[in-house]
Structure 1
């Protein structure tokens, strides 16, 4: 007898035993063997049936309890990558805006184009005591902040991501770091340039 037939026989036998007990038959009738078709049926104790069914009941209860997909939406939305076409468009807008306001007579030291999500982080090699100008254009949404380290070099300044041109003149010290970082809601492209004055 294979495993499937044995399980069927056990379940049917238990059902037969329950039926006998409900109709007032004595417990010694549970040892009786009955033949149905090609199956040899022997009743099994009720406690054995309970042991066999307990794991299935536990699995059913565990899988149906608090399913987050069926009950409610997730509280946070993962941040998706920018649309390549939109990113290319914003890059062109920011770069063309930067080129339009940069004077031809100035000498460029550094420049770049970065995603707002990545920000600008540079430590330019500038001569101490000389004057420079930082130009920043952010195209997109939200706002970015320009931060100089050390802070006495220049005050913190906002750069709205609406293609506004932001200038900041400063005198470099021995070690300088410039960061331009977007706020939590900001998206888009930052174009920046450092020129000598």
Structure 2
């Protein structure tokens, strides 16, 4: 009888341990409502979580117009560093990892209504959301480039941005 009792106790302990592990995993993953910022060069948002709803048909069209205005360099091009497409309401708030001392270009376009405030290396520029592009040279780049693009009052639409090297590395 003790042999059978030990099997029952062992099975009960295994079930209890498995349940505890599953519950712990659920608690750990269920306690967050946003993604943690990524640390890679093609990373992400620093200050606020982006909208989680799918883009509307209007936003898709605005996104296409903004991307076309930026003249996207393909990701497999040696000059490409990183790019993104964001809702105006979310803005772009990030630190891009660059090679210190190298020269880059940041291209930004906004398609929609209103205007954006673009702050790069402590210099602010206003960008109307009419679909035109803004090209900002980044000469002798820092190791990390803070990029802060925020909507001005009443602005809406989509923002496309891209960082490229000015010339291929040797």
TM-score, normalised relative to structure 1:
0.51
Larger-gyration structure (1/2): 1
Q: What residue in structure 2 maps to residue 178 of structure 1?
A: 147
How much has 1:82 moved relative to structure 2?
A: 9.8
Task: Choose between structure 1 and 2: higher helix proportion.
Answer: 1
Flag the 1:83–1:129 CA change in 2: closer, same or farther, 3 A.
closer
Q: What residue in structure 1 maps to residue 50 of structure 2?
A: none
Residues 1:193 and 2:165 are matched in the alignment: no
TM-score, normalised relative to structure 2:
0.59
1:41-80 to 2 correspondence within 5 Å? none
How much has 1:99 moved relative to structure 2?
A: 2.5
Q: What residue in structure 2 maps to residue 160 of structure 1?
A: 128
Q: What residue in structure 1 maps to residue 49 of structure 2?
A: none
SS in 2 for 1:127: coil
1:1-197 to 2 correspondence within 5 Å? 84-99=56-71, 107-149=79-121, 151=122, 155-171=123-139, 172-197=141-166
5+ residue gaps, structure 1: 1-80
Give the 4+ runs in structure 1 shifted more than 6 A: 103-106
How much has 1:114 moved relative to structure 2?
A: 0.1
1:128-175 CA deviation, whole Å, 9 max, x = no partner? 1111100011000100011124x2xxx211111000111000121133
Q: Distance in 2 between matches of 1:114 and 1:167?
A: 17
Greater Cα offset, 169-178 or 91-100? 91-100
1:8-58 CA deviation, whole Å, 9 max, x = no partner? xxxxxxxxxxxxxxxxxxxxxxxxxxxxxxxxxxxxxxxxxxxxxxxxxxx
Which has the higher relative contact order, 1 or 2, with Cα contacts under 8 A spaced 6 or more apart? 2
How much has 1:90 moved relative to structure 2?
A: 0.7
SS in 1 for 2:65: helix
